[in-house]
Chain A
Amino acid sequence: MARFHDVLIVGGGHGGAQTAIALRQNGFAGSIAIIGDEPEPPYERPPLSKEYLAGDKTFERLHLRPEAFWRDRAIDLVLGARVDFLDPTLKQVVTTGGERFGYGALVWATGGRPRRLDCEGGDLAGVHAIRTRADVDLLRSELPAARRVVIIGGGYIGLEAAAVLRKFDKSVTLIEAQHRLLARVAGPTLSRFYEAEHRDRGVDVRLASTVSRLVGAEGRVNGVVLASGERLAADLVIVGIGVAPAVEVLRQAGALGTNGVLVDDRCRTSLADVFAIGDCAARKSRFSPTAVRIESVPNANEQALTVACELTGRERDHDAPPWFWSNQFDLRLLTVGLSDGFDVEVVRGDPATKSFSVVYLREGRIIALDCVNAAKDFARGKSLVANGVLTTPGLIADVNIPLP
C-alpha cells in the first residue's frame, strides 16, 4: 500500500521546505510530506561555502526551522530517502528503498548534484564538492592537514571557498576555464574586480586554464595536471563547476525539458499535477525571454510561494526579479536581475574604493545590477529591474546622483 499525501514534496532543500511552510501559512489543511535524501531536516545551504566552512556558525544555527516546527505544522519529513521512480498515471513515486508514496499534487524540488570532473583522478580521495552538509563536514575534517588547495571553477562557490581558505592561510590556486571569473553570471567589470581582489589576497588565479587529470598516491589526490602540462601540487581539491539538475526521474516519466525540466509561469511541468521549482526548473519570466534555470535560494523561495498559492487558490501576481548575494572577504555583493544578454554595462562609482555597482542595460532598459558594498543601489535597483526602467548611462554613472 502506498502512503498518500495531498501534497508530496520531493527535495528537502530551501524550495521544498518553503513550499510546505507557505502551504500551512496559506491555511492548507491537507496532508503534506517532504522526502529528502539527506539525513538532516531542511537547513540553509548558502553558509556551507561561507560561515559554516569558516567555522563561524554551528550546524544548529543553519536549521531553517526547529525540529518541533515540522511536527507542529503536521509536515511529515521522510529523510534519508531518494525517489527513483515516478508513475504520473497512478500518481505515485517509489523510493530506492521500495517505499511507495501516492500524491494529490507532486512538487519536485530536488535541486542539482554538483558536476564532477570527468577526467582521470576525479574520484580520488581529497577531491571535494560543496553542496551538502556532509560535503563540507568531510572537507573541514581534511582541512587541518592540508596546506595547498586547488579550487577548480571560478564561479561563486569557488570564489567564496577561496576567500575562506585564504583566511585560514592556505595556499590557494584557483583554476577557471574561461578567460574571466564569473563568466556565466556577470559582466567583465565585475569579473576583473574579483580577479584583482583575489590576487591581492594571495589567491593564484589561473584563467583560460583547464584540468587534464588529477594524480595521487594510495588513492589520495596530491596533484592537478593542467592541459598546459603544468603540474600543481595539491593536498586538497575543491570542485565548483556547477550543478546538474536532478530531474532524471521526472524526465523518464515523460516531463518535457532539455535543461532541467520545463515549467510554466505557475511552475507546472508538462505532467498533470506535477510542479517543479528551484535549481532544477527552467522557466520563462518577464526577466528572461527564454526558459532559464536559476540556481539561487531566493529563486527557490519565490517559486515555492508561487506553487503554494497555486495549490491554495490564491492569486499571486507579483513576480520579484531574481536576486542573489555572495560574501567574499570584506566584499558584500548583492545582485538583482539577470544580466545575460546586456548590451551596455555602466559602472557606477569607483571599483578602487571597493564600493560600486555595475548597471546592465539592454536596449536602454535596466535589466540587472551587481552591487559591491553598495546596498543602497541594490535596494533601489530591485524596483528599477522590476519595472525595466529606461535610462541612459549618463544618468546612472554618477554616484552623487541617486538612482532614478
Chain B
Amino acid sequence: MSKIIVISRDGEERAIEAENGLSVMEAIRNAGIDEIMALCGGSCSCATCHVFVEAGGETLPPPEADESDMLEASAYRRENSRLSCQLTVSSALEGLTVRVAPEE
C-alpha cells in the first residue's frame, strides 16, 4: 500500500491508501472518489481520468506516445498532465499528489 493524495475539483484534499500494482485511476476510483469517469476502464482510450501531478511524480516514467496523444486533445492540458490509468502505484510513489483535471 502507498499513500496518494487526491485533490478533487472543489479543492478538497484526501489521502488514500493505494494498492501497489493497480493504476492510480483504479486507486482513486476504489477510494470512492467519483469525479474520474475512466470510461474505457484504463485502456488509454478516453482521457476521462486526466489528472495533474502536483508533487511526488519525479520517478514516474514520461508518458508514452498514446497517452500524450490522448492528452493533446484536452482543453486543459498542462506540463504536469497525465492519464491516471497509465500510472502504476508503487512504493516509489508514496506521497504522490494529483489533482483531478476539470471536466471536458
Contact = CB atoms under 8 A, between A and B. Distances in A.
Interface in A364-404: 375-376, 378-380, 382-383
B32 interface: yes
A334 B45 contact: yes
B39 A47 contact: no
A236 to B, nearest CB: 26
Interface in B56-99: 65-66, 69-70, 72-73
Interface of B: 22, 26, 29-30, 32, 34-35, 37, 39-41, 43-47, 65-66, 69-70, 72-73
Interface stretch (A66-74, A131-139, A178-186): A66-74
A327 B73 CA distance: 21
Nearest to B37: A301
A83 to B, nearest CB: 26
B39 A298 contact: yes
Contact of B72 (A332, A334, A376): A376
Contact of A376 (B35, B45, B69): B69
Interface size class of A (residues with CB under 8 A): 20 to 34
Nearest to B26: A61
Contacts of A301: 37, 39
B69 A375 contact: yes
Contact of A379 (B22, B30, B34, B73): B73
B72 A379 contact: yes
B70 A25 contact: no
Nearest to B73: A379
A329 interface: no
A382 B73 contact: yes
A323 B104 CA distance: 15
A216 interface: no
Contacts of A325: 40, 43, 45-46
A384 to B, nearest CB: 11
Contact of B70 (A62, A297, A379): A379
A46 interface: yes
A272 B45 CA distance: 37
21 contacts: A21-B34, A25-B34, A25-B35, A46-B40, A46-B41, A50-B43, A61-B26, A66-B30, A72-B32, A298-B46, A301-B39, A323-B46, A327-B43, A332-B45, A332-B66, A375-B69, A375-B70, A378-B69, A378-B70, A379-B47, A379-B69
